[in-house]
Amino acid sequence: MADSSASYRRLWTLAWPIILSNITVPLLGVVDTAVVGHLPDARYLAAVTLGATLFSFLYWGFGFLRMGTTGLTSQAAGREDDEAVRNLLGQSLLLAMTLGLLLIIAGSPLVTLGLWLLDGSEQASLLAAEYAGIRLLSAPAVLANYAILGWFLGQQNSRVTLLIMVLTNGVNIVFDLLFVIGLGMTSDGVAWATVIADYSGLALGLWLISRQLKLLEGRFLRHHLLRLAAYTELFSVNANLFVRTLGLLFAMAFFTAQGAAQGDTILAANAVLLQFIMLTSYGLDGFAHATESLIGRAIGQQSPRTFNATLRAATRFSLVTAGLATLGFIVGGQALIALLTGLEEVRDTAATYLPWMIALPLIAVWSYLLDGVFIGATAIKQMRNSVFAGLAVFLVLWWIFQALFSQQRLADGLINHALWLSFMGFFIVRSGVLAAYLTPLRRRYGAIDRVMDAT
C-alpha cells in the first residue's frame, strides 16, 4: 500500500506541471489570432494560420528528440550513472542543433511543399512563405528545447517544462503585441515574436542545465560526443520514433484529406471535432510523459515492484482523466462546438458526429498510456509496429467502405461516420498491439516474475 501511495504521489508530482504547461499552448494561439485578426486584411490571419499549421506538423516530426532523450536519460538516472546522464545531454543537444541548422539551410523546399499541400490562396501563401522563412531561424532553439525538456523529464524534473513554456509563451505574447500593435508589423511580426520567444526559452533551459550539472558527478567525455559510434543507441531509438511519427502524421493527413473530399462543411466539422482530441491530450499526455520517466527509472534500477506500481498508478490516473473527458463531452460537447465555430451549418454537422468524440477518450486512452510505458522502456520498435498495424487497419476499413459507397449501399450521411469508424479502428488496433507487447515487456524486466516482485 505504501509503494502504491508513493507511486501515485510521484506520478501526480510529475504530471501536473506538464498538464499546466500544455494548457498554455492554446492561450498563445488565441493571442496570435486576436492580434492578427484585428488587422484590416484577412490575408494576414490566413498567412499566420497556414504558417503555424505547417510548423506544427514540421516540428511534431522532430518530437523524437524529446521522447528518446527522456527514455534513455531516465534509465541512466535509475542506474545512478551520472556520467551517462551528462553525455546523453551532450549527444541530444548536438544532434538537435545539427538538425536545426540543416533545417535552416535546406528548409525552403519543405516550406514550399508544405504550403502547396495546405493549398491556401496565392496572397496568403506568399505571406505564409515569408512567415515560414523567419520561423525557420528558430529551428535550432526549438529542437534543442525538445532535448532539454526530455533530459530534465528523464530526471523526474517536469517543472522545468512549465518554466520554459510559461517564459516562451509569455515572451511570445509580449512581442506579438509590441511588433504588431506597437510597431505596425503584420504576419512577419508574429513570426519574429516566435523566434525571439524560442531563443528565450533556450537561454532559460541552458541556465537551468548549468545548475543541474553541478549536482551530477562525472564529466563530458569527448569520445561520447564526437564519435558517431557512440550515438548508436540514440540514433536507433530516435530513428524508430521518427518513423512512428511519420505514420501518425500520415494517419492524420489521410483522415483530413478524406474529410475534405466530402466538402468544405464536413472538412470544417471534422476540424472542430479534432480539437476535442487535442483537449483530451492535454491531460493524457501529462500522465504519459510522467510514466515515461518513472518506468525508465524503474528499469534502470531493475525494480519490478516500481514498474508494476507505476503502471497501476498511471492506468488509474489515465482512466479517470479519460472518463472525465467523456463526461465533459456528454454534458458540454454542444457548447464546445458552439464556442469553436459560429457557422450554423458546421455546428449542426459537427453535432451529428459528436458521439464519436464521446467514445474517443475511452478508446484512445490506452495508446497514450502504453506509449508512456514503451518510451520509458525504450521499446520503440514495438511502438512503431503498433502505429503501422493501426494504419493498415484504418486504410483497409476505409477501402472496404469506399467499395460499399461505389455500390451505393450507404447513404451520403453515413460516409463521414464510416470515416470516423475507420479512424477509431486505428486507435483500437494501435492500443491492442501495444497491449499484446506489454506482457513480454514486463517479463523482460521481471515485472511479472512473482519471485522478483516479492523481493
Instruction: Report the percentage of the chain scoring pLDDT > 90.
Output: 53
Query: Which pLDDT score is estimated for 376?
Result: 94
Query: Which pLDDT score is estimated for 340?
Result: 75
DSSP 136: G
Query: How much of the chain is in helix, strand and coil states, percent to nearest 5?
Result: 90, 0, 10
Query: Which pLDDT score is estimated for 451?
Result: 37
Q: Which of 33-47, 305-319, 413-427 has the lowest mean pLDDT?
A: 33-47
Query: Which pLDDT score is estimated for 297?
Result: 94
Contact 373, 441 (CB under 8 A): yes
214 Cβ contact list (under 8 Å, min separation 6): none
Residue indicated by cell numbers 520503440: 380
**Does 351 have pLDDT greater than 80?**
yes
Most confident of 73-77, 106-110, 403-407: 73-77
Q: Kindly report the number of other CB atoms within 10 A of residue 192's CB atom.
A: 21
Mean pLDDT, to the nearest integer, of 100-114?
87
How far apart, in whole angstroms, are the C-alpha atoms of residue 366 and residue 362?
A: 8
Burial class (CB in 10 A: 0-12, 13-18, 19+), 307: buried
Mean pLDDT, to the nearest integer, of 352-365?
94
- The residue with greater pLDDT, 299 or 27, is 299
Counting every residue written for the chain, the total comes to: 455
Query: Which pLDDT score is estimated for 60?
Result: 83
Query: Which pLDDT score is estimated for 452?
Result: 39
Longest dimension (CA), the chain: 71
**Does 273 have pLDDT greater than 70?**
yes
**Does 31 have pLDDT greater than 90?**
no
DSSP E strand boundaries for 201-297: none
How far apart, in whole angstroms, are the C-alpha atoms of residue 90 and residue 29?
A: 32
User: What dihedral do alpha carbons 257, 261, 262, 267 form, nearest 10°?
Assistant: 40
